[in-house]
Amino acid sequence: MGKFRWTIIFSLFTPLLVLLVVFFMGGGHGTYLPSIILFPFGMIGTTFQQSITALFTILGIVQFPVYGYLLDILKHNKLKHLILIFHILLVVIILNISSYK
């Protein structure tokens, strides 16, 4: 896969994960928890307003390819762990601030 291995892998898995969370959302009648856990950048907008706007949808879709790109270019393993820590921290913040269904 070459130099951008994780970027390619995460880019391929992103549409599958989007379909999964849309299924769980159930047209607004399901649960938003999987989308908050998997796509916190896309769901951060729900803490400011009661809907998911186009901007935050785009942020959610590009989130995993950006993670992959950062994993590909970062040289130090400690910096790579910061991606996971930041993701988890953002999930915790969103779950504490917003009232999800």
Mean pLDDT of 23-47: 87
Q: Extract the tokens encoding 39.
A: 């796509």
pTM: 0.85
Q: What is the pLDDT of residues 65-78, one digit of tens each?
A: 999 999 999 877 77
Please check the confidence at residue 80 and state whether its pLDDT lies above 90.
no
Average pLDDT, the chain: 88
Residues in the chain, how many?
A: 101
Mean pLDDT of 34-47: 89
CA distance 62 to 14: 8
Q: What residues have CB less than 8 Å from 74, skipping those under 6 apart?
A: 80
SS3 track for 42-61: HHHHHHCCCCCCHHHHHHHH
